[in-house]
Amino acid sequence: MLALHQHYQSATALSAQGRLPEAEMELRKVVSSCSQVFGKSHPDTLISRSDLAATLAGEGKYAEAEKENRAVLAIRKEVLGPEHPDTLLSRNNLAAALQELGKHAEAVREYRAVLTVRQRVLGAEHLETLDSRNNLATALNDQGHQAEAEKEHRAVLALRERLLGAEHPKTLASRNNLAAVLQEQERHPEAEKEHRTVLALRERVLGAKHPDVFLSCFNLALCLEAQSKPKEALACMRRAHDGFAKILGAAHPHTQFAAEAGRRIESELSR
């Protein structure tokens, strides 16, 4: 039992440091031990499998994350019921993996189902309900429903600012997501203003080397590129790429997307 606890603590620490491949190895040991000691349906086994799925998603292994989330969801539905908070968390995590895999219609369907239950059980202003509204809005944006997505993001942003404060990471995530919707609608000056504000706040609140800072750099770079500002865009994209490479590794989708975008911007500058 002591070894099991140590493996889990190690996985948590590694994940916090962004060392996801090592965290995955530790979590696989925890899942195997929990399954043998407690059984496949035990809460500790399911928690460790859910954590493993989240780590796989963080590594960009979305197909594996989908498979793991589906397995955990099926057991939690049977053991805990369809409206238990852990079951809803599994549905939410499954939807996130589906979204990353481009299965937008299925992701929207799952997010809506979770949101409906959370609104009824937890209330409209519960933080988990707001998480669901935010997630649904991002999926709607990916599906091309920008007007609905913008409306949802603005509503969630207003509530998060009131409940959590203007500089809370989730409030900043809402501003980032709103900027993404504005960008999709080609409202680039508005989007750029939001991206710059979020980047500055994330640097101050989270630190210059936090993954969310590099995500803001990436988003700002795309916005600048769309406005024919290639020199500034390239500087932002290089910072995003170098940060992703160091934290997530060269093979992670974020790193590869940034590398591809950087090459594209360099090509524009050389014309």
Report DSSP letters for 19-39, one per residue.
-HHHHHHHHHHHHHHHHHHT-
pTM of full prediction above 0.75: yes
Show the CA angle centred on residue 202, arms to residues 8 and 169, nearest 5°.
Answer: 55
Q: What radius of gyration, in Å, describes the C-alpha atoms of the chain?
A: 19
Task: Count CA within 13 A, CB hemisphere, residue 98.
Answer: 23
Task: Count CA within 13 A, CB hemisphere, residue 202.
Answer: 24
What is the chain's pLDDT, residue by residue, as a tens digit (271 residues)? 656 768 788 888 888 777 888 999 999 999 999 999 999 999 999 999 999 999 999 888 999 999 999 999 999 999 999 999 999 999 999 999 999 999 999 999 999 999 999 999 999 999 999 999 999 999 999 999 999 999 999 999 999 999 999 999 999 999 999 999 999 999 999 999 999 999 999 999 999 988 899 999 999 999 999 999 999 999 999 999 999 999 888 988 899 999 999 999 999 888 7
List C-alpha distances in Å: 227 to 59, 185, 196, 198, 222. Answer: 31, 13, 14, 19, 9
**What is the distance in angstroms between the CA of the first residue and the CA of the last residue of the chain?**
63
Task: Look at residue 233 in the predicted model and tell me its pLDDT.
Answer: 97
Measuring CA to CA, which residue among 66, 42, 47 is closest to residue 56?
66
Give me the helices (H) in the chain, please: 2-16, 20-37, 43-58, 62-80, 85-100, 104-122, 127-143, 146-164, 169-184, 188-206, 211-226, 230-248, 253-270
Cα(236)–Cα(134) distance, rounded to whole angstroms? Answer: 26
Give the Cβ contact number of residue 190 at 10 Å.
Answer: 14
Task: Look at residue 1 in the predicted model and tell me its pLDDT.
Answer: 63
- Amino acid, single-letter form, for residue 251: A
Give CA 27 to chain center in angstroms: 20
As given in the structure block, the two tokens for residue 185 are 């609608």
Measuring CA to CA, which residue among 138, 71, 74 is closest to residue 107?
138
Q: Which domains does the chain have, with CATH numbers?
A: 65-118 (no CATH), 187-271 (1.25.40.10)
Task: Look at residue 12 in the predicted model and tell me its pLDDT.
Answer: 84
